[in-house]
Amino acid sequence: MSLRGSSDAEKRNIETMLNLIFFGPPGVGKGTQAARVAKFYNLIHVSTGEILREEIRLQTDLGMKVKDVMARGELVSDDLLIELLENTCAKHKGARGFVFDGFPRTLRQAEALDEMMKRQNCKVAKVIALDVPEEELLRRLVNRAIEQGRTDDTVEVIKNRLIIYQNYTKPLIDFYKKQGIFVGVPGVGTIEDVFSSLCTVIDNRY
């Protein structure tokens, strides 16, 4: 976004806010690392998955709308997620920045996020993709289902979610590469090793 014609306050906002997107298929570890990064850099962690599961737990109108969709491993509609994201970010005015975990997942969502950033006189600094082989993803997700008792992580649902990721979310890589803010980081290794690699990318973002 061009800074021409922006006020000094707007320029400072664009330059000082740190907004990150964590990208990757289910089970890649982005939730764990996004939370660590948010805490380390004093940012707000926005996990659409956690927010939606909480809405379902509370049996809100939104929760009832998305419950069956999530149980099938399908994507929640763009309109609902965009509304959810805007409402969540509005609750944290004055935040140093946000770590978006699980959003965007479609091109329309990415475009909506860019528009929201422009309205707030800020931008996304980096889109970070954690890279993990599919075999390892399946192993992680099956183990998580057993450990956490998550009924939404059956083998069939896992495979469906990975197919949806390939069809709808992976094309976003080109969208963000064109903006020059996309970077891939190996997601296999210890939590500390992956976190260290992420911090290196974030600290060298300019």
Residue 1 domain-assigned (yes or no): no
Residue 93 domain-assigned (yes or no): yes
List, in sequence order, every residue forming a beta bridge with 200; answer none if it has no partner.
none
| CA angle 25–128–44, rounded 5-degree value | 95
Give the type of residue at 146: I
Whole-angstrom distance, CA of residue 130 vs CA of residue 141: 15
Residue 51 domain-assigned (yes or no): yes
Write the CATH number for 90: 3.40.50.300
Whole-angstrom distance, CA of residue 2 vs CA of residue 35: 31
Number of domains in the chain: 1
Q: How far apart are the first and last CA of the chain?
A: 15
Residue 124 domain-assigned (yes or no): yes
Tens-place pLDDT, residues 98-123: 999 988 988 889 999 999 888 888 89
Per-residue pLDDT for 184 more than 90?
Answer: yes
Q: What's this model's pTM, rounded to 2 decimal places?
A: 0.79
Tokens of 81: 């997620």
Residue 144 domain-assigned (yes or no): yes
Tell me phi and psi for residue 21, to 5 degrees.
-115, 130
Q: What is the mean pLDDT of the chain?
A: 84
Residue 32 domain-assigned (yes or no): yes
Q: Binning pLDDT at 50, 70 and 90, where does residue 1 land?
A: very low
Give the type of residue at 10: E
Q: Which of 83-87, 126-130, 134-138 has the lowest average pLDDT? A: 83-87
- Name the residue range of residue 171's domain: 8-203
Residue 3 domain-assigned (yes or no): no
**Which of 27, 34, 116, 38 has its CA nearest to residue 73?**
27
User: Is residue 43 within 8 Å of 37, Cβ to Cβ?
Assistant: yes
Q: Binning pLDDT at 50, 70 and 90, where does residue 7 land?
A: very low
Q: Hunting for tokens 């956690």 — which residue is that?
A: 50
Residue 128 domain-assigned (yes or no): yes
Q: Binning pLDDT at 50, 70 and 90, where does residue 2 land?
A: very low
Tens-place pLDDT, residues 51-95: 888 888 888 887 888 888 877 777 788 888 888 888 888 888 889
